[in-house]
Amino acid sequence: MSFVQIYIHLVFSTQEMKPFLNSKVLRIKVWNHINENATEKGIHIGEINGYSDHCHCLISLGRNQEIAKIAQLIKGESSFWINRNNLTADQFRWQDEYFAVSVSASGVEEVRNLLNDQESYHTTKPFLEEYSELIKKHGF
């Protein structure tokens, strides 16, 4: 039996960082859908949250899973679902690029706290600033 424990912090934004997900009710609906769809595809999202223009996921990778494929499945299907259900005024798209970094088992709680605090966090700090800090913190 194989034992695998690899955590990934995945972050992606809306196309051109537009605030498509501009209500908490809409965000909760989208996060729940992403989580349910991921579960159906064998993707384990331990935590999901974000704000009007981006999404954070804490993912536990399975032994045969690839980050690029997971990002594609999550982003592609959720865009399709959002548009099919007319949840935004304009056509919804996620940006092609994403941020993904490994998280040690000892760092999982820190990432969970960051994700759980997105609503209050972004009352004072825009996503672009948060994204720049993540890039810098992880040496990209």
Q: Find the Cα–Cα–Cα–Cα dihedral 90, 92, 96, 100, rounded to 10°.
A: 130
Looking at residues 3-13, what average pLDDT do you find? Answer: 94
Given a cut of 90, whether residue 67 has pLDDT beyond it is yes
Q: What is the pTM of this model?
A: 0.92
Rounded to the nearest 10 degrees, the angle between the axes of helix 67-84 and helix 24-40 is: 130
For 93-140, what is each residue's pLDDT tens digit?
999 999 999 999 999 999 999 889 888 888 888 888 888 888 898 888
Q: Does residue 57 belong to any structural domain of this protein?
A: yes
Q: Does residue 1 belong to any structural domain of this protein?
A: no
Q: Does residue 24 belong to any structural domain of this protein?
A: yes
Given a cut of 90, whether residue 4 has pLDDT beyond it is no
Q: Does residue 23 belong to any structural domain of this protein?
A: yes
CATH of the domain at 60: 3.30.70.1290
Number of structural domains (the chain) is 1
